[in-house]
Amino acid sequence: MVRQSADWQVLLDDRILEVFREEEESEGEAFFTPTELSKHPRINFSRQYVSERFRKLADHSLLQQVSGNSYRMTEAGRAYLRGEYDVETCKYEKEVSGENDISGASESV
């Protein structure tokens, strides 16, 4: 599925989330600080800029600050990477396609 990004997103945001996913796949859980991730070979941006992107991703529920300056990826972040979450509308793909819509459901009495 195609990722549904928002106007505010930049390419680095996807890279950050992808590094979190890779770490989760190998370690089970992933916690990073902006400083740690700024040193990752796939990131290669300043700590200040990575920190700014972490805050932006957290503001939009793709990352969650857990303690101090440490963050983890949320379920919305994982769903976005799978192409199942529209960041612009903050809705899961099933909600957008109407699969969870019960307004037209009929009920037998």
The answer to whether position 36 is within a domain reads: yes
- Write down the pLDDT at residue 7: 79
Q: How many domains does the chain have?
A: 1
- Say how far residue 21 (Cα) sits from the centre of its chain: 10
Q: What CATH number corresponds to the domain at position 59? A: 1.10.10.10
The pLDDT tens digits of the residues spanning 38-86 come to 999 999 999 999 999 999 999 999 999 999 999 999 999 999 999 999 9
Residue 107 lies in a domain: no
Specify the residue for token string 């009929």. Answer: 106
Which pLDDT score, from 0 to 100, does residue 99 have?
Answer: 52
On whether the pTM is more than 0.85, the answer is no
Assigned domain for 70 exists: yes
Are the beta carbons of 58 and 13 closer than 8 angstroms? no
Model pLDDT, residue 85: 93
Q: Is there a domain that residue 45 lies in?
A: yes
φ, ψ at 30 (rounded to 5°): -140, 125
**Domain assignment of residue 3, yes or no:** no
Closest to 53 measured CA to CA, from 7, 2, 6, 8: 8
Is 30 contained in some domain?
Answer: yes
What tokens does 11 get?
């390419």
Backbone angles phi, psi at 66, to 5 degrees: -105, -35
The mean predicted confidence, pLDDT, of the chain is 86
* Host domain of residue 61: 11-88
